[in-house]
Amino acid sequence: MQYRRIFFTLAAMLCAAAAIAQTVDNPVVMTVAGKDITRAEFEYSYNKNTDVEGVVEQKSVSEYAEMFVNYKLKVTAAERLRKDTLSSFQREFRQCRDMQLTPYLFVMTFVDSVGRSVYQQTVERIGGKDLLLCRHILLPLKQNADEATKTAVAARADSLYTALQGGANFEELVTQYSADYGTVKQGGQLPWMGPGMVFKEFEDAAYQLSPTEISKPVLSPVGYHIIRMDARKQMEPYEELREDIFAALKQQGIEGAAAQSMINRLMRERQCTREEVMDSVLAVRVKADPNLQYLVQEYYDGLLLYEVAKEEVWDKAANDEKGLAAVYAADKKKYAWAQPRFKGFVYFAKDKAAEKRVKAFLKKADNESEEWRSQLKATINKDSTVVVVMGPYLVKQGENKAVDKLVFGTGEGRTLKDYPLTGVVGKKIKQPSSYRDVKAIVQEDYQNQLETAWVEQLRKQFPHTIYQGVLGTVNKH
C-alpha cells in the first residue's frame, strides 16, 4: 500500500509541476463556465481544425475563439445534464482514451512469449514433417453429381494430366481450367501448408511428391486436383520467423492484449483500479507530450457534444412535425423547385392481370409509410412475385431512367427481365406540396435555427470571457 501511495503522489506532483509551468508558459486564453482554457489547448484545436486540406473557409483566430466558446458551452450543458454519467458515454470514452495509451503499455516480452507459444504449437502440429509449397488445378465436382457428370469431369482431369505429362504449361492450364479463382492469377499457387491444413486426400497425395513433380488427378470432397510440388522445407527456427509471427499477431490484436496484461499486472502490484492505472499513465505521458492531454480532452468533449446535440437539436428537428411545417411555411420560395418532379412509384408486372391489380393497389398506398411493402407481399405477391415495385420516388428529369421515359418522355427507359409491363402510379408536380417533399433541406434549416437559439441561451446562462491580450499571442509566442 505504501508503494501505491508513493506512486500516485508522484503522479500528482507531475500534474502540479505541469500546472505551475502552465501559468508561466501557457497562460489562460479564455474562461468558460468557470473553467480555464489554456492557450496551448486552444492552439491545438485551432491549428488542427483550420489546417485541414480542402477547408473552404479558413477562420481567423478571433472567429475561431467565438466558435470555441460555443463548443465549450455545449460541453458544459452536457455535463450539467450529467451526460458524462451515461454508461454508453463512459464506455466509448474509455475506448478512445485507452486506444491512445495502449502503445505506452505495450510490452514486447509479452508478445514474444505468445509468439513462441504459437510457434511451438505449430511445430507440434507438423510433427517433424516438411512444409509444402504447391500449385493446383481444380476441376469442381459436387458430391451428389450424377454418374455422367462424374465420368465427364474425371475424363477432363485425365486429359489435363496427360497434356502436362506431354509438356503443357501448368500455369496456362490453370488459367484456362482451374475453378479455384482465388489462386488462378497466381498460377494456382497455394500458401505454404503442413499437416491438417487441407483435405486429407490432397495432403496425402502432396506429401508423396518431390519438387517439380506433378500428381495424377486427386479426388477430394470439392472435386479433382492436379497438384504440382514447387518446394519442400523444414520449418525454420523461431528467430527467423519472429517478425512474420509478430505481424500476424498484430493483425489479431496482440498489442491490445499485451497492454491489458500490463494493466492487470499494475492493478495487482499497486492494488488499484483499472481507471487509476490509466489515469496515472496518462498523467505521466502528458508530461512528455502535452498534446496527448488535449487529444484525450477532445475525445471527451466530442462524445459529450454528440450526446447533448442529439437531444437538444437533431432529434428535436427530426421529430417536430409542427416545427418543420412552420419553417417551410415561413419561406416557401426558398424551397421552390426550378424543375417539376415525379412523385410516386414505378412498377414492373408479369402480365396484364398483375398490372391491373398493382395499379389499383398503389393508388391507395401511403407514400409516407413503409407498410405498403408488407401489404404488397401479403396480397399481390402472396404465392409468387408477379410484380416488382420501386419507390416511392420524388425525382426530377434525369434522375431515374424509367421515370424519364414514362413521365418526362425522354431516354430509353428501363426494363426488368421476366416483367415485360412497366408503368408508373403517381403524379408530376411543379412545386412541393408540403415540407415533406423537401424534408432534408427543411430539417437542416430547422436544426440550424434550434442550434442558434440554444447557443444564445447558453451564452446567457453561463459566464464566459476571452482574454484578448493572450488571444493575440496565439501562434506568435
Cα distance between residue 335 and residue 343, in whole Å: 16
* Domain membership flag for residue 168: yes
Specify whether 354 is located in the same domain as 419: yes
* Domain membership flag for residue 255: no
Cα-Cα-Cα-Cα torsion 223, 227, 233, 239, nearest 10 degrees, comes to: -50
Specify whether 218 is located in the same domain as 366: no
* Domain membership flag for residue 389: yes
Specify whether 143 is located in the same domain as 207: yes
* pLDDT one-digit tens code per residue, 74-112: 999 999 999 999 999 999 999 999 888 888 887 788 888
Among 65-74, 366-375, 462-471, where is mean pLDDT lowest?
A: 366-375
Domain that holds residue 173: 129-233
CA distances from 466 to 19, 29, 37, 38, 463 (A): 20, 6, 10, 11, 11
How many angstroms from the chain centroid is the CA of residue 432?
A: 36
Q: Which residues contact 110 (CB under 8 A, 6 or more apart)?
A: 257, 258, 261, 262
Residue bearing cell 418522355: 409
Specify whether 144 is located in the same domain as 223: yes
How many residues appear in the chain? 477
* Domain membership flag for residue 394: yes
* Domain membership flag for residue 464: yes
Q: Are 107 and 261 in contact (CB under 8 A)?
A: yes
This prediction has a pTM of 0.65
Cα distance between residue 390 and residue 344, in whole Å: 9
* Domain membership flag for residue 195: yes
Specify whether 412 is located in the same domain as 374: yes
* Domain membership flag for residue 220: yes
Mean pLDDT, all residues of the chain: 90
Q: Kind and range of the H or E element at 130? A: none
> In 221-289, which ranges are continuous DSSP H helix?
238-251, 254-270, 274-288
* Domain membership flag for residue 302: yes
222: CATH: 3.10.50.40
Specify whether 421 is located in the same domain as 443: no
Specify whether 357 is located in the same domain as 374: yes
Region 388-413: mean pLDDT is 94
Specify whether 364 is located in the same domain as 330: no
Specify whether 218 is located in the same domain as 310: no
Q: Which residues contact 211 (CB under 8 A, 6 or more apart)?
A: 229, 230, 231, 232
Higher pLDDT, 356 or 23: 356
* pLDDT one-digit tens code per residue, 166-205: 999 999 999 999 999 999 999 999 999 999 889 999 999 9
Specify whether 472 is located in the same domain as 357: no
Question: Structurally, how many domains does the chain consist of?
Answer: 3
25: CATH: 1.10.4030
Cα distance between residue 41 and residue 291, in whole Å: 8
> Is residue 253 scored above 50 in pLDDT?
yes
